[in-house]
Amino acid sequence: MWENSRDYQQIGTLISKNRKLLADSFKSVLPADTKLFNFEQGKQAMDAWLYTHFKDRLTDEQLKCLFRPAQVHSESHNGPRYDYLKLLEINKSRYSGPQL
């Protein structure tokens, strides 16, 4: 499973270190006062940042896997919706701080 791979952990660590930059990127893509995004909006928000660090190594399926923990099920009637603040917070709690 890809979510158990070194690449997944590396992306999570980088997200935890770049939360402010990524939050600003999501804010620029989403309407004002919105924290929910669909896959295409998330891909657009993270595209330049991901390319800087990973070039074209990340597939759409891997990106969906990265977004999945932040899915808001009550808002996912017409396709999955995700909360970018939750995405950033999850990666912060998983990957920031000392690694044992």
Q: What is the DSSP letter of 71?
A: B
Which pTM value belongs to this model? Answer: 0.87
Structure-block tokens of residue 34: 């919105």
Q: Give the DSSP H/E element, type plus range, for residue 90.
A: helix 84-95
Structural domain boundaries in the chain: 2-95
Alpha-carbon Rg for the chain, nearest whole angstrom, is 13
- The CATH class of 2-95 is mainly alpha
pLDDT per residue as tens digits for the range 5-58: 888 999 999 999 999 999 999 999 999 999 999 999 999 999 989 889 888 778
Tens-place pLDDT, residues 47-92: 989 889 888 778 999 999 999 999 998 876 788 999 999 999 999 9
What spatial distance separates the first Cα and last Cα of the chain, rounded to whole Å?
Answer: 22
3-state SS class at 46: helix
